[in-house]
Structure 1
Amino acid sequence: MAWDAWLSLSCVIAVLLALALTRIAPDALLMASLAFLVVSGVLDPSQALAGFSNPGVMTIGALYVVAAGLKETGAVLWVANALLGQPATLKRAQCRMLVPASVLSSFMNNTTVVAMFIPAIQEWSRKLGLTPSKLLLPLSYIAILGGTCTLIGTSTNLVVDGLLQSEKQVSLGMFDLAAVGIPVLLIGGVFLTLFADRLLPRREGVIEQLDHAREYSVEFVVAEGGALVDKTIAEAGLRNLRHGYLVDIERGGRLMTAVPPDTQLMSGDVLIFIGAPECARELRRVRGLTPANGDIHKLDIDNHHRCLVEAVIGSDFAGLGQTVKASRFRSRYQAVILSISRQGQRLPGKVGDIQLQVGDTLLMETGQQFVEQYRYRKDFLLVSALNDSTPPDFHKAPIAMAVLSMLVLSAASGMLSILEAALLAAGGMLVTGCITVSKARRYVDLSVLIVISASFALGAAMTTSGAAQAIAGALVDARMAPWLALAMVYLLTTLFTELITNNAAAVLMFPIAMSVAEQLGVDFMPFAVAIMFAASASFMTPLGYQTNLMVYGPGGYRLLDYLRLGAPLSLIVGTTAVGLIPMVWPF
């Protein structure tokens, strides 16, 4: 290989290792690699920046707005509640859940579908007496499978279609993938229905663990004329209690949440503490405090003064690896963590001493504005909020569904391209008031668009430098059976997508797959379609696909649960896809 091929390959390996082993933001890594390839002379600026004008990337951006309109109007929840019904058994419940989730995920962002279904299924499970852990992971998996049925079902399909348009002048139709996607969905759905109950254990999610997680609340009053009047919380010695911690102060009928340590105490303040039963005994020894009612009782989650938010820590959370106290969580987010659940278990000990990790599920008490303020941030994957102050605008749900229907019909009939239909649908959501411009802007995930666009530069470098051809030559020879080469490409893409982002995996594998087809002298389409399916088939880890991480805490799952159910599902999906793809797109 030439020097530029070695340089390109080294850059790709460095990016892969950094994505898999570090916490550096993927968009920062990919943009750094793009800059390196331009400065080193491997690519000229027009080649490096071509991804930012790719139609597939622009289509994804427009579809973010369409999905936002569907979410803000409650259209997904409206359809889900209509279809879920009241099944009597777990098997029927799974079937009633799998159908609407797979259909909706075929036409909109998987993350939006799962985010809307999680609180609905949690409430549904409580009403029917079912275990959420039997339903939430299958929900994530069926949403992934449903997304493979149409071109707009997942961003990976649009990315690969954009590459085909720019490099091969080939474009797929809306339902071209359905010939393979629907059988894969049906076979995967049958597997989940038959075996999810057997392979997934009964686990309690954070809401089901509420009685254990929130421990006990005790209330004490600052005695009039006592020793604590006009002292700050820290000066009173209430900042570092051994068996509990101060959550709220009720003053003059007003509840003060997330109070900082320099807050001055006043006569008659009602201090609300959370902790172990020994907390009450510890507080009785504090001079100037008297029990409010002498009773220890569970917190009332329906209290209208409180807003409870359940959130899963994402990879961009600023305090990863730090304790709650060291991360200054209370002052940074104006929220108090009531409990932390990891792998389905409430973490013991004082909350302030727990080190925060990706996937931890936090149950927080905060103000009503928290959900709106952090809904669009990447610190958390917000799953559900109790007493949400901004309920969906349900009367516009039929309008949002009509806009989505027009998108699908116009693109499927060939009247408009996918990009044109998506742009018009996004405009329709804005014009009809299904979503405001400011909210639509915040729903567009620029970091994902940057990752995808910058990944194109790596793919271009692999192709122009000859590195992709060299890798293909090492993987196959001219005598290898095409179906075996197809299986190798599928397996390698699946491995990449479990370690890095699914879109980056697709972009990096595309030039290699094209070179494999060229060396074998066969058509490239089976390999392109295999990348679409393999890059989406992330079932074995919670971090491989965002929806897997979203159900991690609410379902109370552990890593082994993903392997137990995801590994056989991945094998079934891969075998089915590799077997069917050459029948639809012959070599």
Structure 2
Amino acid sequence: MTDLLSGIGIEHVTLLIIIATLVIFLLDRIPIALTALISSIVLALVGAMDFKQVYSGFATPVTLLVFGMLIVGYALFETGAITILGKKILKSRVARNERALLGVLMLVAGIASAFLSNTALMATFIPLVGGMVATASGHLTNKNLLMPLGMAASVGGTITLVGSTSQPVASGIMSESGYGELGMFDFAPIAIPMLLVLILYMMTIGYNMERKFFKFEDHSTVGADDAEGSLDVKVTWKTWVATLTLVFCVISFMFGLLPIEITALIGAAIVLATGCIDFKTAMAQLDWNTVLLIAFAQGIAAGMNDSGAGKLVGEWSVAIVGESPAVLLAIAVVVTVVLTNIMSNTAVAAMMVPIFVSIAVGVGYHPFVFVLAIAIASNASIATPIGGTAMSQTLVAGYGFRDYLKLGAPITIVLTIMIAVITPLVFGFPQL
């Protein structure tokens, strides 16, 4: 096959394969991990990279990090630690005022999402909120609480490397391209201000917009059937083990006590060995689509890098838009934000990062700032219920598509500007 394609130029063949991969990502007809696998295999078959590059992503730190932290997160939900936290919030004085409760829930969801699965967090909090609303005599509503909760979970998930799937995918691709990895808390200087601005918006302008525009009847029974069982969760020794394991992981991440992937694997071993979560249950719940995508997406990056396709994309891009890194970064952020609101945020990161690694290198800059900005921007999927799972889960409150646009579009524009401006202010544009 290599001989047949040698006359075309392997870099051009690689680009055709990458374009086909992007189209399949956009169509979203098959799992994105399967698309990444097929693309990696085809790239190896045509000679764009060595065959070992197809599976080498499984041994990278970022893949092992995500694998371990997913299991630690599942243990926290399995032992009831997150449910107990939610129950305490909903039984506190702050729950008497909807606006105040909204702010507290968003803050907790944002912080928790930095280390835990957004999907599992929302699946836990939706019935808790629904149960509280059902007994609140009308002063609390699902329609005013659930969409902001989903927004906070989405944006808060960008604070760390493990908070959402986009970050490890982006980090793995950059690493495979030979430019190092993103750090555990590199996102925080941009993501934390974004979360705080989002909460401030929702407690002021956003809350007033909800009361003005959300005229539909509140689905007051959302999650109420599941809430009673959730509220019966008791603290056990396993709850403490799972919680302290997460604390250990966070401390180790912050102070560099151990390599991040070893920390995550130790955490997973602890919660599995102590029975905080059953091994078979953990393997059944594990988001294999994410783990496999992270591994195989690195193969796609290797194909672009080794074949020369990435260099070609960089040269073309510079010829079209020039060499200004600020302009290139703004384009990357805007395009990513638009795409992430109409398709999977993980797929968007897998699409955009290899392209802008090549573009950044083509103009002589280290791709770190571009990759970081794209990873964060791919989680700004709060203007529609499509791009992020956390937002999709809030549909149970009875929102229409226009409701998401009315509430989410203004703050999405603000967050987009913040990413494009704050990222280079904090990190600059380091040259190669």
TM-score, normalised via structure 2 length: 0.87
- Correspondence for 2:26: 20
Deviation string, structure 1 residues 11-39 (Cα, Å, up to 9, x no partner): 23323333333533333333222332233
Deviation string, structure 1 residues 65-93 (Cα, Å, up to 9, x no partner): 11110001111111122234243332112
- Correspondence for 2:116: 108
CA distance, structure 2, for counterparts of residue 205 and residue 9 of structure 1: 50
Amino acid at match of 1:24: I
Deviation string, structure 1 residues 165-219 (Cα, Å, up to 9, x no partner): 444453444333221121111112211222333334144566638xxxxxxxxxx
Amino acid at match of 1:574: T
CA distance, structure 1, for counterparts of residue 48 and residue 185 of structure 2: 37
CA distance, structure 2, for counterparts of residue 74 and residue 148 of structure 1: 24
* 1:515 aligns to 2:349 (yes or no): no
Q: Judge conservation of contact 1:458–1:508 (CA < 8 Å) in 2.
A: no
CA distance, structure 2, for counterparts of residue 17 and residue 168 of structure 1: 26
Could you say if the C-alpha distance between residues 414 and 28 of structure 1 is closer, same or farther in structure 2, counting changes exceeding 3 Å? closer
| 1:498 aligned to which of 341, 363, 371 | 341
Q: Judge conservation of contact 2:80–2:235 (CA < 8 Å) in 1.
A: yes
Amino acid at match of 2:145: L
- Correspondence for 2:50: 44
- Correspondence for 1:98: 106
More strand by share: 1
Q: Judge conservation of contact 2:172–2:294 (CA < 8 Å) in 1.
A: no
CA distance, structure 2, for counterparts of residue 496 and residue 5 of structure 1: 26
Superposed displacement of residue 479, structure 1: 4.8
Describe the SS at the equivalent of 2:387.
coil
- Correspondence for 2:200: 190
CA distance, structure 2, for counterparts of residue 192 and residue 387 of structure 1: 28
Deviating above 6 A after TM superposition, structure 1's stretches of 4 or more consecutive aligned residues are none
Q: Judge conservation of contact 1:472–1:516 (CA < 8 Å) in 2.
A: yes
| 1:580 aligned to which of 417, 422, 426 | 422
Superposed displacement of residue 487, structure 1: 0.6
| 2:382 aligned to which of 532, 539, 547 | 539
Unaligned runs of 5+ in 2: 1-6
CA distance, structure 1, for counterparts of residue 255 and residue 219 of structure 2: 45
* 1:131 aligns to 2:141 (yes or no): yes
CA distance, structure 1, for counterparts of residue 52 and residue 109 of structure 2: 40
- Correspondence for 1:117: 125
Superposed displacement of residue 459, structure 1: 2.3
Deviation string, structure 1 residues 259-306 (Cα, Å, up to 9, x no partner): xxxxxxxxxxxxxxxxxxxxxxxxxxxxxxxxxxxxxxxxxxxxxxxx
CA distance, structure 2, for counterparts of residue 102 and residue 27 of structure 1: 27
CA distance, structure 2, for counterparts of residue 466 and residue 15 of structure 1: 17
Amino acid at match of 1:158: P
CA distance, structure 2, for counterparts of residue 433 and residue 529 of structure 1: 36
Moved more, 35-44 or 66-75: 35-44
Superposed displacement of residue 558, structure 1: 1.4
CA distance, structure 2, for counterparts of residue 504 and residue 172 of structure 1: 18
* 1:5 aligns to 2:11 (yes or no): yes
Q: Judge conservation of contact 1:455–1:508 (CA < 8 Å) in 2.
A: no
Could you say if the C-alpha distance between residues 472 and 500 of structure 1 is closer, same or farther in structure 2, counting changes exceeding 3 Å? farther
| 1:150 aligned to which of 154, 160, 165 | 160
CA distance, structure 2, for counterparts of residue 171 and residue 467 of structure 1: 21
Amino acid at match of 1:559: F
Describe the SS at the equivalent of 1:503.
helix
Deviation string, structure 1 residues 117-139 (Cα, Å, up to 9, x no partner): 11111112223322211111111
Describe the SS at the equivalent of 1:536.
coil
Describe the SS at the equivalent of 2:199.
helix
Deviation string, structure 1 residues 480-518 (Cα, Å, up to 9, x no partner): 432111111112223343344323322332222222222
Amino acid at match of 1:394: V
Amino acid at match of 2:26: A
| 1:160 aligned to which of 170, 181, 200 | 170
Could you say if the C-alpha distance between residues 504 and 39 of structure 1 is closer, same or farther in structure 2, counting changes exceeding 3 Å? same
Bigger CA radius of gyration:
1
CA distance, structure 2, for counterparts of residue 147 and residue 457 of structure 1: 25
Identity in percent:
29
More helix by share: 2
After superposition, the CA RMSD in angstroms is 2.6
- Correspondence for 1:366: none
**Greater relative CO, 1 or 2 (CA 8 Å, sep 6+):** 2
Q: Judge conservation of contact 2:48–2:304 (CA < 8 Å) in 1.
A: no
Q: Judge conservation of contact 2:333–2:374 (CA < 8 Å) in 1.
A: yes
